[in-house]
Amino acid sequence: MVTGKRLADFGYRAFSTSMILLTMYGGYLCAMRGYRFMEKQKQLKLAAENQDHGVIKD
């Protein structure tokens, strides 16, 4: 039979694991946003250097 302590331990582990995964996913999203921002800045700089007056779309 499952005791209260074992159930509490399982709940704590499940919650901790979900928070770790959520934190990792948030870090991934943040890194990808930063990467896209840097790429966009690079594109804008190249466009300015080439005097390209075209519109850069996302």
Residue 55 pLDDT: 60
According to the model, what pLDDT value does residue 51 have? 76
Q: How high is the pLDDT of residue 38?
A: 98
> What is the pLDDT tens value at each position of the chain, 58 positions in all?
779 999 999 999 999 999 999 999 999 999 999 999 999 999 999 988 887 555 666 5
For 7-52, the DSSP string reads HHHHHHHHHHHHHHHHHHHHHHHHHHHHHHHHHHHHHHHHHHHTT-
Residue with tokens 């159930």: 7
Domain ranges across the chain: 1-50
Q: Which helix (H) or strand (E) holds 4?
A: helix 4-49
SS3 38: helix
Whole-structure pTM value:
0.67
